Amino acid sequence: MPIRSVVRPTYLVLCSAIFLLPVGCKTSQPTTSQSRVQTGQGVYQYKEEDPTLKPFYSDRQGVTGRNGMVASAHPEASQVGLNILKAGGNAVDAAVAMQFALAVVYPGAGNIGGGGFMVYRDKSGKASTLDYREKAPGKATPNMYLDSAGNVRAGGLSMSGHLASGVPGSVAGMVQAHQKFGKLTWPQVLQPAVDLAEKGFALTERDATGLNRIKDDLLKYNPGKTYFMHPEGRAWAKGDLLVQTDLGSTLRRIQTQGRDGFYGGETARLVAAEMQRGGGLISEADLANYQAIWREPIREGYKNFNVITMPPTSSGGIALVQLLRYIEPFPIRRWGWNRDSTAQVMIEAERRVYADRAKFLGDPDFVKVPSAQLMDRTYLQNQWATFNFSKATDSKTIHGGSLPGYESLETTHFSVVDRDGNAVSITTTLNGGYGSRVVVGGAGFFMNNEMDDFSIKPGTPNMYGLIGNQANAIAPNKRMLSSMTPTILERDGKLFMVVGTPGGSTIMTSVFQTVVNVIEHGMTMQQSVNALKFHHQWLPDKTIFENGAFTEATKQALIGRGYVLEQLTNTLGRMDCVLVRPDGSYEGASDPRADNTAMGF
Ligand code: DON
């Protein structure tokens, strides 16, 4: 089917606003209260052509500020970041304080027992990235999760329990980030987290539900311990105070001794003892040897934007650039938001990107990742040659895994911009919600289950249904491949957007859509976060979508071309983003799908 036949004639009228107006277009009056939002970038207008379609998860509005903006998964952590900025701290000070605060108030994903990535762009435009991803312990082996016949051993050992953990990187990352860019003192940026742990904080409804949900695993992996249990033995409820004394002491050791407060001394001894107790591999030597790594950012152009993003060990940065470049030749702005042709080219881009990920990506300190070639436009054109508007491309018939139950899976992203325009984009994780579910005895924090992000057996899907090969095989001291995509965009060389999300394998596609919604469809930052999303990852060969992301007509058009669609009962993405408007003010946008909160001043 030629392109024209799927494009409705109305799309051809510039500024005719089926779903959108191009950036810069003037518009007439809104048709509904939801339909017109002043973006500062343009105006996005949704005409209710299909009254069954509710394309936004909520009508939450963005937060405005001129002097600083933070957005994170938890109101307490955002408050910490805002206070640090108001106290004269810069974006890195606020981000470090928020990482530690999240370790206290958001134990499902905020962490000191996990790892993450930071993308930083200073006010002059200089950018750097910090890889504080976990590493396989020194005693890890390629077959550690396989039996003698080469089959994956029962029990989900890469996902729960002591053997699932990589060597944590978060504390090293924060120390190195602060040493290089921080302005306030180290004890100052640690203090809010210490206070939250020792004095406690009131649980949100969601915090309480999360802890109640993992009670059985807490008992299973931490026998005889009462971590994260209500002191009276009852279920947690909204408003209960969670006090974490052991975690407070661990944070104080980090506060007074810096890196050695975690990777040496008492904390390291406690981690190693915990590992020994449960048959884990991490040793005191593994901890002492851990270093975060400064890496050259990916900095690639898309139209008049620059995408500054995470290189490997994340697959996210390369993926995001590939995705944008695949859609670059298509008039998706004219076609309209999530209309059939728009969705089709985005899905086909996603299919190709995830196939590359599985084949080529891994820890660049261990395997040669052909980054430049993968983002090369000629390469992408060749990969696109099999695209056909009339029919879905076939993903290879490898057995894909089932997609995750997203609600139980957590990572967390936060974004910070300070008064001067220094910007930080951090995604950090334990991998699954509450990681391995092992709490380090005496130290009070969850360990990650990041080993599952390795390809534990070639072709066997991980918990996100992602398939990998040799490039992401386990090796001692190697970092496992990630999908986390903390990203900063420039527009015409100036700071424009800070963006990122959790979501396992869906991270890149959620970031992709959030960027495209703003720069192609003219949404505000918050509208783009609110907008419903979809996802394809090559294998399994299906497109999952949030209820309302597609009209009935779009669904039928896609199904008619051979696409398998699956409507989710849960959601995609938990974005925390900041946009710089043309007048220099900031729009903070936090995801209405959870407790995410933006604060600015
Ligand atoms: O690094 C990764 O790609 C995964 N460990 C991220 C996990 C995640 O986002 C879970 N949250 N929904």
Which pLDDT does position 19 carry in this prediction? 25
Ligand 1 pocket residues where CB is under 6 Å:
409-411, 429, 431, 450, 453, 482-484, 502-504, 507
- Index of the ligand 1 atom closest to the CA of residue 480: 1
Q: Whose CA is nearest to atom 2 of ligand 1?
A: 482
pLDDT score, position 367: 96
386 Cα to the center of ligand 1, angstroms: 30
Run of H or E including 127: strand 127-132
- Å from CA of 483 to ligand 1 middle: 7
Which tokens sit at 230?
Answer: 């209500």
Taking CA atoms only, the protein residue closest to ligand 1 atom 12 is 503
SS3 104: helix
256 CA from centroid of ligand 1 (Å): 31
Mutate to test the pocket of ligand 1, among 354, 483, 576 (most ligand atoms within 8 A of CB): 483
Q: Which residues does the chain have with pLDDT short of 50? A: 1-40, 397-408
CA angle (432, 435, 439) in 5-degree steps:
160
Residue of 320, 507, 535 to test ligand 1 pocket, by largest number of atoms within 8 Å of CB: 507
Cα 116 to middle of ligand 1, angstroms: 10
Counting from 1 in the atom list of ligand 1, the atom nearest the Cα of 452 is 5
* Number of neighbouring beta carbons within 10 Å of residue 142: 18
Q: Which residues, other chains included, contact 219 with Cβ-Cβ below 8 Å and sequence gap of 6+?
A: none
Ligand 1 atom with the shortest distance to the CA of 506 = 9
120, 127 Cβ separation under 8 angstroms:
yes
Atom of ligand 1 nearest to the CA of 502: 9
Kindly tell me the number of DSSP H helices and DSSP E strands found in the chain.
Answer: 18, 21
Question: Which of the residues are catalytic?
Answer: 411
What's the confidence (pLDDT) of residue 362?
A: 96
Give the residue, out of 310, 428, 464, 481, with the most ligand 1 atoms within 8 A of its beta carbon, to mutate for a pocket test. 464
Query: Closest Cα to atom 1, ligand 1: which residue?
Result: 482
Q: How remote is the CA of residue 135 from the centroid of ligand 1, in Å?
A: 15
Q: Which atom number of ligand 1 is nearest to the Cα of residue 501? A: 9
Which of 572, 565, 564 lies closest to 592, judged by CA?
Answer: 572
Distance 3 CA to ligand 1 centre (A): 36
CA–CA distance, 132 with 293 (Å, rounded to integer): 7
Nearest CA to ligand 1 atom 11: 410
Rounded Cα–Cα distance for residues 473 and 389 (Å): 36
Q: How many residues does the chain have?
A: 601
374 Cα–ligand 1 center, Å? 22
Q: Give the atom of ligand 1 at the shortest distance from the alpha carbon of 316.
A: 3
User: 470: which residues sit within 8 A by CB, 6+ positions away?
Assistant: 362, 367, 455, 458
Q: Which of 480, 495, 363 is nearest to 430 (CA)?
A: 480
- Please list, in sequence order, all residues whose beta carbon lies within 8 angstroms of the beta carbon of residue 342, skipping any fewer than 6 positions away: 330, 332, 335, 336
In this structure, the residue with its CA closest to atom 8 of ligand 1 is 504
Q: How far is the CA of 13 from the centre of ligand 1 (A)?
A: 41
- What is the identity of the amino acid at 326? Y
| Predicted pLDDT at 282 | 98
DSSP labels, 533-583: -EE--SSS--EEEETTSS-HHHHHHHHHTT--EEEESS-----EEEEE-TT
Q: Residue 377 gets which letter from DSSP?
A: H
